[in-house]
Amino acid sequence: MKRFTEILNTLKFNFITRSITAVIAIATLVTSCVGGQLGKNNSVEFKNGMVVSAHPEASRVGLNILKSGGNAVDAAVAVQFALAVVYPNAGNLGGGGFLVYRSSTGEISSLDFREKAPAAASRNMYLDSAGNAITDKSLYGPLAAGVPGSVDGMVKAHQKYGRLSWARVVQPALDLALNGYKLTENQARELNGNRADFLKYNPGKEYYIQAEQWKAGDLVKQPDLANTLSLIRDKGRDGFYDGPVAALIEAEMKAGGGMISANDLRSYQAVWRKPVTGTYRGYKVITMPPPSSGGIALMQLLKSVEPYPLSRWGFNADSTVQLIVESERRVYADRATHLGDPDFYSVPQQALLESSYSRLRLENFNWSRATLSSDIQAGKINGKESEETTHFSIVDRDGNAASVTTTLNGSYGSKVFVKGAGFLLNNEMDDFSVKPGTPNMYGLVGGEANSVQPGKRMLSSMTPTILEKDGDLFMIVGTPGGSTIITSVFQTILNVVDFDKSMQAAVNAKKFHHQWLPDEVFVEKGALDSLVALRLQEKGYKITERGPIGRVDAILKTKWGYYQGGADSRGDDTALGW
């Protein structure tokens, strides 16, 4: 009887707890829904615009810009600078990235503000005298840094599309640097984990170093970074590529054996490029061309699976997973051989994008057995990369859309802060193939197309993308994740188009990844049903569980004209709209 009463009390307690939780959840939803409406799967939808980024403060900055009459590019510039302050592992002044843009009237463009190898760089700069790769040299310290592109990228994007003044869009980041921002729990943990590296690579500097451990809620003020931002606000690109900031970068190089010169900085130019476009099941896909591998690889993947009835097979069903894995295996083999900076290497873009080419590549695929990656080479044509990049998606009141992925490469890049200027330098040189055939940090291999050459841009996987449906905006999508970026964007698109998920559900869905080499299917914990995994293993697939794959921040336009956000629950990502 006593046992029965205990159970009853537990049940009562659980019921009350659940009821309270439910009331709190509804109240939270209603609060966050002010100005919005509830859509599919209780996602909050907004009519006038939306910003989805990796940090709540950056999303707030972007939303304020939209509300004060700024357009998607004004907000993108403000978010890029805000992330440089509040999200130091990937937000940056000392890195680079890509913007894909679609205006409300359907004009499309893409901006390449990828870093470049310094003029003094050379093919074998990361090899020892025996010709072996010295991986640390392309990963840590000033020698790992490419010439930063973000500031010039923002200037060019703003010059072409901005509506508000330059000062207005830079100021919110400056305010955050001056007045401080509060660390999230994730950030405090990551900063504590990087303390040893910060001390090692920054003797005599005190950026993000304090006596105690960092904890959630700690206020971080960055006066040197504020000073750098005030120069950028007042002088535009000259505030960074010339004058005191450029001199501080040069001094950092001299002190630590880096190669970036004053001339490299002065001559850096972001480039407008023609986006890669294609179709998938009637949707138009607008995505990033080389020097990102992302756009071409994404289109190849979509074209590979298009002939098959994925929605009938179902989300993460055996056939769906097998087809995706075999497509990825072949596309990543192509990436390793055929893709590089188009200013230095003749990328066979058109041939790779032919639908018939993708179909042919799957011809030797046998449903009863895994293909061996050793049997796959790049098709005949008639990175180490990092998890710590960041993506943001923005749409404004008029329906102009900006999809931006930006990076320092590794988490906190080269770990080197520019003394006196307060920002981190990238370690993007590691995205080059430092030695043909030698895998980089994420097991990616490359060859001649992506060899180190002075002034060349290193190959990227960043895949900022926009989808159209019937001539109207449909989706804005992108993610960090190094080599997994392409597959995460690909699978997020399938989740919406083929598996009818809401934007948030598509983003949260667990993902899996194959990149040709190593010959393994990397699976986010819980992504595959255990029976599906077993059946695939029986066919010869090596399945390896790993941590989170991707951190997608995306926006979907519903057929009723509302914007649905997908802010990845793997991080502090936040969707805000109005």
Question: Please, what is the Cα angle at 508 between 154 and 59, to 5 degrees?
Answer: 30
Least spacing, CB of residue 485 vs ligand GLY, in Å: 6
Q: Taking the CA atoms of 109, 110, 111 and 116 in sequence, report the sign of the dihedral they define.
A: negative
CA distances from 375 to 329, 364, 551 (A): 11, 10, 32
Contact between 395 and 46 (Cβ < 8 Å): no
Span near ligand GLY by CB under 6 A; candidates 101-109, 195-203, 381-389, 530-538: 381-389
Least spacing, CB of residue 438 vs ligand GLY, in Å: 17
Q: Which of 71, 184, 300, 386 contacts ligand GLY by CB under 6 A?
A: 386
Q: Would you give the binding string for ligand GLY spanning residues 390-419, x where CB under 6 A is met?
A: -----------------x-x----------
Q: Which of 389, 433, 479, 508 contacts ligand GLY by CB under 6 A?
A: 389
Residues of span 468-527 touching ligand GLY by CB under 6 A: 482
* Alpha-carbon span 185 to 216, nearest angstrom: 4
CA distances from 320 to 167, 306, 314 (A): 49, 12, 7
C-beta contacts of 78-81 below 8 A and 24+ residues apart = 78/169, 78/170, 78/172, 78/173, 79/51, 79/53, 79/392, 79/394, 79/404, 80/150, 80/153, 80/154, 80/392, 80/404, 80/406, 81/154, 81/169, 81/170, 81/172, 81/173, 81/174, 81/229, 81/232
Span near ligand GLY by CB under 6 A; candidates 227-235, 250-258, 383-391, 522-530: 383-391
Give the residue numbers marked as catalytic: 389
Considering the complex, state which of residue 184 and residue 386 has its C-beta at the smaller distance from ligand GLY. 386
Contact between 392 and 52 (Cβ < 8 Å): yes
Contact between 262 and 245 (Cβ < 8 Å): no
Considering the complex, state which of residue 322 and residue 461 has its C-beta at the smaller distance from ligand GLY. 461
Contact between 182 and 296 (Cβ < 8 Å): no
| Count of residues of this chain found to bind ligand GLY when the rule CB under 6 A is applied | 11
Q: Which of 50, 336, 462, 493 contacts ligand GLY by CB under 6 A?
A: 462
Residues 6+ apart with CB under 8 A from 35: 46, 577, 578
Considering the complex, state which of residue 141 and residue 482 has its C-beta at the smaller distance from ligand GLY. 482
Least spacing, CB of residue 366 vs ligand GLY, in Å: 32
Torsion angle of C-alpha atoms 60, 406, 544, 500, degrees rounded to 10: 60
Span near ligand GLY by CB under 6 A; candidates 53-61, 125-133, 202-210, 455-463: 455-463
Which residue's CB atom is positioned nearest to ligand GLY?
A: 460
Could you say whether residue 461 binds ligand GLY (CB under 6 A)?
yes
Least spacing, CB of residue 501 vs ligand GLY, in Å: 25
* Alpha-carbon span 213 to 195, nearest angstrom: 9
Q: Which residues of 370-398 are buried (b: 16+ CB within 10 A; e: fewer)?
A: bbebeebebbeeebbbbbbbbbbbbbbbe
Instruction: Estimate the crossing angle of helix 56-67 against helix 72-86, to 10 degrees.
Output: 150
Considering the complex, state which of residue 236 and residue 464 has its C-beta at the smaller distance from ligand GLY. 464
Span near ligand GLY by CB under 6 A; candidates 66-74, 322-330, 385-393, 499-507: 385-393
Least spacing, CB of residue 506 vs ligand GLY, in Å: 22
Span near ligand GLY by CB under 6 A; candidates 168-176, 250-258, 269-277, 459-467: 459-467
Span near ligand GLY by CB under 6 A; candidates 320-328, 382-390, 514-522, 537-545: 382-390
Tokens representing residue 67 in the block = 């509300």
H or E element that contains 244: helix 243-256
Q: Would you give the binding string for ligand GLY spanning residues 425-454, x where CB under 6 A is met?
A: ---x--x-----------------------
Q: Which of 320, 393, 450, 460 contacts ligand GLY by CB under 6 A?
A: 460
Q: Would you give the binding string for ligand GLY spanning residues 337-376, x where CB under 6 A is met?
A: ----------------------------------------
Residues 6+ apart with CB under 8 A from 285: 276, 277, 278, 279, 298, 299, 302, 465, 466, 467, 493
Least spacing, CB of residue 410 vs ligand GLY, in Å: 8
Least spacing, CB of residue 125 vs ligand GLY, in Å: 18
Considering the complex, state which of residue 431 and residue 498 has its C-beta at the smaller distance from ligand GLY. 431
Least spacing, CB of residue 460 vs ligand GLY, in Å: 3
Binding residues for ligand GLY (CB under 6 A): 385-386, 389, 407, 409, 428, 431, 460-462, 482
